[in-house]
Amino acid sequence: MTTSGDAGPDVLPNAAAPRRTWLAFSPPSVDQAEIDEVADTLRSAWITTGPKTQRFEREFAAFVRAPGALALNSCTAALHTALATLGIGPSDEVITTPMTFAASVNVIEHVGARPVLVDVEPDTLNIDPAAITAAITPRTKAILPVHYAGHPADLDRIGELARAHGLAVVEDAAHAIPATYRGRFIGAGPNPVAFSFYATKNLTTAEGGMLTGEPAFLERARVLSLHGMTRDGWQRYHEGGSWFYEVVVPGFKYNMTDIQAAMGLCQLRKQEEFQRRRREVVARYTSAFADDEALEVPVTRPDVTHAWHLFVLRLRPQALRIGRDQFVAELTARNIGTSVHFIPVHLHPYYRNKYGYRPDDFPVAYENFRRMLSLPLHPGLSDGDVSDVIEAVLAVAGAHRR
């Protein structure tokens, strides 16, 4: 897919590559501590869902000050389990954003409900509360905001709408560890909040996720997340456990393993250090790019703490002779790994064909998608790496300035 005014993805064969080795976009930050903790689990008598998973749930809940936490095998599983536990299904509607990974919307389809997409705010690229208001119908049962790139959505206005119309709020916090909104951690509230521990995330267990919320809600979700069984494996097989269980609902296979939880426990202890380095990198990027007429840097509203999962740079087409795709290709030629977050949901064939969406149905999301790219951002970046990214971005922008 090419952008307006883009000369295409090809790069001149003599494109400069001052960096001699490839800079990966977002490798996991894992060291000996995780290796030792995983090895300890492998040497134990228990490697699937058990004591380390339980400990990880408790420590994660304490970290974000959540009422409770349920460890699962992905953020997708957490979102799906939350919707199913709420009883959302056929004939229901769930309002969400097109500016997200497809999993946020796929789970609405999985429970048989209709995803209702609405546009995003032009500064944060989070779901626009005004657009939510216009989309609410008698069939609306929930709002599913996504904290895009780690910047919290406008939870006060979303909460007001939800209370006024009797709707559930299920937050997609895949990017939002450890973001805060008005001084409170994302995940600290009573409503369901889903986190991701995918390999590129601020906290990783390779694959994995967490669902936070009220204990009573999580107990129902826990049963649903493991085949609908009244006892999990640890409750049946550890000393003093009972072999007896019952299936009370046709559930899923979404449990986290102790091997994953072992990594998570280590990563949780490193969050302060990780965030400090992320903020340092963001500060350097922002200082380097903020005054360039061809580049638009991310915003942070004053009432939030940004998690900085992503640094999404937006190009200004009026200042450049090339589009996003060629810009990315030329960074690649300079050994700088990048990505694009995200191809809006309504552009994907399944949703485009099923619901008849056109690209400009959500003009803010579409226009920003066409000019965005994500730069490397992770705790393992050296000062030299950051300098290489800055030099490459400014070189490409300078070479193609109008």
- Alpha-carbon distance 113 to 167, whole Å? 14
| Active site residues per annotation | 201
Query: How far, in Å, are 89, 97, 186, 335, 348 from residue 94 at the CA level?
Result: 10, 10, 20, 41, 19
Pairing of β 372-375 and β 311-315? antiparallel
- Asked if 118 and 128 touch (Cβ cutoff 8 Å), the reply is yes
- Alpha-carbon distance 376 to 397, whole Å? 17
- Contacts of 45 by beta carbon, 8 Å cutoff, 6+ apart: none
Vertex 74 angle, CA 77 and 237, to 5°? 85
Q: Spell out the SS3 assignment of the chain.
A: CCCCCCCCCCCCCCCCCCCCCCECCCCCCCCHHHHHHHHHHHHCCCCCCCHHHHHHHHHHHHHHCCCCEEEECCHHHHHHHHHHHCCCCCCCEEEECCCCCCHHHHHHHHCCCEEEECCECCCCCCECHHHHHHHCCCCEEEEECECHHHCCCCHHHHHHHHHHHCCEECEECCCCCCCEECCEECCCCCCCEEEECCCCCCCCCCCCEEEECCHHHHHHHHHHHECCECCCHHHHHCCCCCCCCCECCCCCECECCHHHHHHHHHHHHCHHHHHHHHHHHHHHHHHHHCCCCCEECCCCCCCEECCCCCEEEEECHHHECCCHHHHHHHHHHCCECCECCCCCHHHCHHHHHHHCCCHHHCHHHHHHHCCEEEECCCCCCCHHHHHHHHHHHHHHHHHCEC
